[in-house]
Amino acid sequence: MVIKKIFIFFSLISLATFNVLGEPYQGNASLGPLKTPSCGFCHGMDGIATMPSYPNLRGQNEQYLFSSMKAYQNGNRKGDFAEMMRTQLSALNNQDLADIAAFYATMKDK
């Protein structure tokens, strides 16, 4: 009985560790459009920015997109625009970010 509890305890720990070190979030590109209605206003629904001062996201690397969005959420990117991006992303969880990253990453060059 105790052995079983210890086993479950360590299984949970290893699962948690895997989540931290691995890549648990598989992005689903087809869900991206549902999660990016406001993003298109600046980044374009085709991933080409609507203003020269906004970055294009089309065809950008998936992992880079995910980690840059995490950096805004964590406050690791600084500046007025970064602060604005943090607000934009504040309501999104990791799965949302993964779906969004997949959505923009899988767009091919025009």
Is 102 a binding residue for ligand HEC by CB under 6 A? The answer is no
- Range in contact with ligand HEC (rule: CB under 6 A) among 9-17, 18-26, 52-60: 52-60
Is 75 a binding residue for ligand HEC by CB under 6 A? The answer is no
- The distance of closest approach from Cβ of residue 71 to ligand HEC in the complex, given in angstroms and rounded to an integer, is 8
Is 107 a binding residue for ligand HEC by CB under 6 A? The answer is no
Query: What whole-number distance in Å separates Cα of residue 89 and Cα of residue 68?
Result: 11
Query: What whole-number distance in Å separates Cα of residue 46 and Cα of residue 109?
Result: 10
Query: What whole-number distance in Å separates Cα of residue 43 and Cα of residue 39?
Result: 6
Is 45 a binding residue for ligand HEC by CB under 6 A? The answer is no
Compute how many residues bind ligand HEC; rule: CB under 6 A: 20
Q: Residue 27: how many CB atoms within 10 A of its CB?
A: 24
Is 89 a binding residue for ligand HEC by CB under 6 A? The answer is yes
Is 36 a binding residue for ligand HEC by CB under 6 A? The answer is yes
Is 57 a binding residue for ligand HEC by CB under 6 A? The answer is yes
Which residues, including other chains, have CB under 8 Å from residue 81's CB and lie 6 or more apart? Answer: 53
